[in-house]
Chains A and B, each alone.
Chain A
Amino acid sequence: MTDQAAAREPVIRIEHLSKTYTRGGQPIPVLMDINLNVDRAEFVSLMGPSGSGKSTLLNLIAGIDHPTSGRILINGVDIATLGESSLADWRAANVGFIFQFYNLMPVLTAYENVELPLLLTNLSRKQRKAHVEACLAMVGLTERMDHYPNELSGGQQQRVAIARALVTDPTLIVADEPTGDLDRATGEEVLKLMDELHRDLGKTIVMVTHDPKAASRASRMIHLEKGVLVDDPGPGAH
């Protein structure tokens, strides 16, 4: 495939994806026959009521859950076929995570938290330092790099988490309710930052949110209901 062709190929290609959980011996379908493409540098928001399957879809795209059937191709790699160890390596190289509750290590400083994913790479200490400092500068936390999470506000913690998601320069950033634990003003700052990642750095972002205002920041809004895609304007709709 030529570079041009590769650039045209969607970053995420989902084909006939289904996910069924079993509770008390009863199968509970969560996602049913989902087909979805996401282009490079798209900012997609997944919306829907509780139990619609949006978080499950995000988890499957991020490679932290396994589908019951169907294919999930990320940059051409069918991650549904990868084993645990290969999937862990794949996540380390390709996915940046932003969680609702930040999920920072409380015993590590902001700097150390951002450095964490780089410890799985072959970068030298000096190279890691350069990457971490650049990312912390990007989220405006250079002055706070030696602070522990409990010494930072919620917004600052989420910015550290964004820097952590960004530091390995992943193909894909997944965000699960990134503003869910923040007040409106702080949430707006975080969304602005994510917007910059998408616009200025060309990052592909998939975000789950309940908040229509937050979802409107994305370039494409996808609605799920009862495990089915009910509204998808398609790639490049913006």
Chain B
Amino acid sequence: MFLFKLLLKNAFRHKLRTLLTMVGLIVAISAFGLLRTIVDAWYAGVEGTSSTRLITRSAISLGYPLPVYYADRIKKIDGVTGVTWLNWFGGVYIDNRNFFARMAVDANSYFPLFPEFQISKEEQAAFMADRQGVILGRKTAQRFGWKVGDTIPLSGTIYPGNWTFNIRGIYTVKDARFDETLMLLHWSLIDESVKKRLGSLAANQVGLFMVGIKDPSKASVISQEIDTLFRNSVAETRTETEKAFQLGVVSMSKAILMAIRAVSFVVILIIMAVMANTMTMTARERLAEYATLKALGFSPGFVVKLLFGESMLIALIGGVVGIGMTFPLAKGFLLQTNNVFKVFEISQETMAFQAVAALIVGLIAAMWPAWKMSRIDIVQGLRHVA
């Protein structure tokens, strides 16, 4: 009790110094959390994948389309439970800052393959009945204050023209790892526009196929079968699991992610050095006090506990506030980046890492001064006063 009282009083003896150290720690811990969350957000697509879905795309690149009739041939492969397809629609809502993913999907086959998207039967039926209808993710609807029945004007980019869509439903997800920001529109609508603009030859093309499979252990075999099926055809395919596809996308940014990770650890190292410096200064100033305590009969262990306790207390307060500050910081970051991340959640794992980082900072910062002070010569220490 006395020990706690003394270290509490010691911790706030130089209020400004303690406050500045805490501010540094808060900034470091929240920055560490934010950077980790950014990396997590990058991998969120991977986390939100299903082991029972494959993605079939052009073997050349994602930019090359595939004929829609491939769907019927893929469906016939043993072990395939369903096939759907989609195209990236693009488009701009007022200006580029209002970005959210818009995809043209085959309404009939899309939802059975994505059970994680929850939508009422009524809203789904309303969507099916309206060719200009769209289904929106809850987060996007919330972001723009849209509700069912509202219209969304979009300026086409990949598919030119001015488009107006009617919101027919809003989907939610069961798990925070899944994307809740999509806008799904009818593929048939854009296909028709292509037909009108460029003729029948340019129509009936899709960006990629999503293939449902019964047994995840057969993913590799089925992928090979699909690709073999279209070998030497007009558009050869490349099929892989949804997870492998997402990892491929992420790997394009691997160097950036590595850099972000490195920076997050550098931030912690910097604050560790700053706090170690503070604790060393503190200990040096109190040299005579520690010598007095030892002269009175207190053990070197008591001095060690005092210094570690003080350092851990500052780290604990800085850590807790730092974790708390990560939430508004993440929110602000997401707004500033135009909600480019579909899933941007501060995970429990990140918070645990932040807490551990704060405690490690507290421990390491006190290590040297505590060792040094526990070994001080009483006579030398007492002379320090004079």
Contacts A92-B296, A93-B297, A107-B6; A59 near B289 (Cβ below 8 A): no
Which one of B118-126, B152-160, B378-386 contacts A? B378-386
Distance between Cα atoms of A164 and B295 in the complex (Å): 12
Contacts A59-B379, A93-B297; A103 near B292 (Cβ below 8 A): yes
Q: B2-13 interface mask toward A, CB cutoff 8 Å, 1 = contact, 0 = none?
A: 100010011001
Determine the residue in chain B with the shortest Cβ distance to A62: B295
| B379 x A101 contact (CB < 8 A) | no
Interface residue SS majority, chain A: helix
| B10 x A107 contact (CB < 8 A) | yes
Closest Cβ–Cβ distance, residue B77 to chain A (whole Å):
77
Contacts A65-B378, A101-B386, A119-B2; A88 near B299 (Cβ below 8 A): yes
- Chain B positions 285-342 with a Cβ under 8 Å from a chain A Cβ: 288-289, 292-300
Distance between Cα atoms of A119 and B299 in the complex (Å): 12
| B378 x A64 contact (CB < 8 A) | yes
| B295 x A97 contact (CB < 8 A) | yes
From A88, A93, A103, give the contact of B385 (CB < 8 A).
A103
Determine the residue in chain B with the shortest Cβ distance to A93: B297
Distance between Cα atoms of A133 and B150 in the complex (Å): 79
Distance between Cα atoms of A164 and B292 in the complex (Å): 12
Distance between Cα atoms of A119 and B289 in the complex (Å): 16
Distance between Cα atoms of A97 and B295 in the complex (Å): 8
| A91 x B297 contact (CB < 8 A) | yes
Distance between Cα atoms of A103 and B378 in the complex (Å): 13
Closest Cβ–Cβ distance, residue B188 to chain A (whole Å):
76
Distance between Cα atoms of A91 and B299 in the complex (Å): 11
Determine the residue in chain B with the shortest Cβ distance to A115: B2
Any B CB within 8 A of the CB of A146: no
Q: A92 — which chain B residues lie within 8 A by C-beta?
A: 296-298
Contacts A64-B378, A99-B382, A99-B385; A107 near B13 (Cβ below 8 A): yes
Closest Cβ–Cβ distance, residue A230 to chain B (whole Å):
24
- Chain B positions 46-75 with a Cβ under 8 Å from a chain A Cβ: none
Q: A117 — which chain B residues lie within 8 A by C-beta?
A: 296-297
Q: A166-178 interface mask toward B, CB cutoff 8 Å, 1 = contact, 0 = none?
A: 0000000000000
Distance between Cα atoms of A91 and B292 in the complex (Å): 12
Distance between Cα atoms of A117 and B296 in the complex (Å): 6
Distance between Cα atoms of A49 and B207 in the complex (Å): 97
From B288, B297, B299, give the contact of A103 (CB < 8 A).
B288
Any B CB within 8 A of the CB of A106: yes
| A65 x B288 contact (CB < 8 A) | no
Q: B382 — which chain A residues lie within 8 A by C-beta?
A: 64, 99, 103
Q: B13 — which chain A residues lie within 8 A by C-beta?
A: 106-107
Q: B294 — which chain A residues lie within 8 A by C-beta?
A: 64, 88
Q: A138 — which chain B residues lie within 8 A by C-beta?
A: none
Determine the residue in chain B with the shortest Cβ distance to A164: B296
Any B CB within 8 A of the CB of A122: no
Distance between Cα atoms of A92 and B302 in the complex (Å): 14
Interface, chain A (partner B; CB < 8 A)? 59, 62, 64-65, 84-85, 88-89, 91-93, 97, 99-101, 103, 105-108, 116-117, 119-120, 164
Closest 10 A/B residue pairs (Cβ): A92-B297, A107-B9, A64-B378, A103-B292, A101-B385, A91-B297, A88-B297, A120-B297, A117-B296, A65-B379
Interface, chain B (partner A; CB < 8 A)? 2, 6, 9-10, 13, 288-289, 292-300, 378-379, 382, 385-386
Contact sample, A vs B, 27 pairs, CB 8 Å cutoff: A59-B378, A62-B295, A64-B294, A64-B295, A84-B300, A88-B294, A88-B297, A91-B296, A97-B292, A97-B295, A97-B296, A99-B382, A101-B385, A101-B386, A103-B288, A105-B6, A105-B292, A106-B13, A107-B6, A107-B10, A108-B6, A108-B9, A116-B293, A117-B296, A119-B2, A120-B297, A120-B298
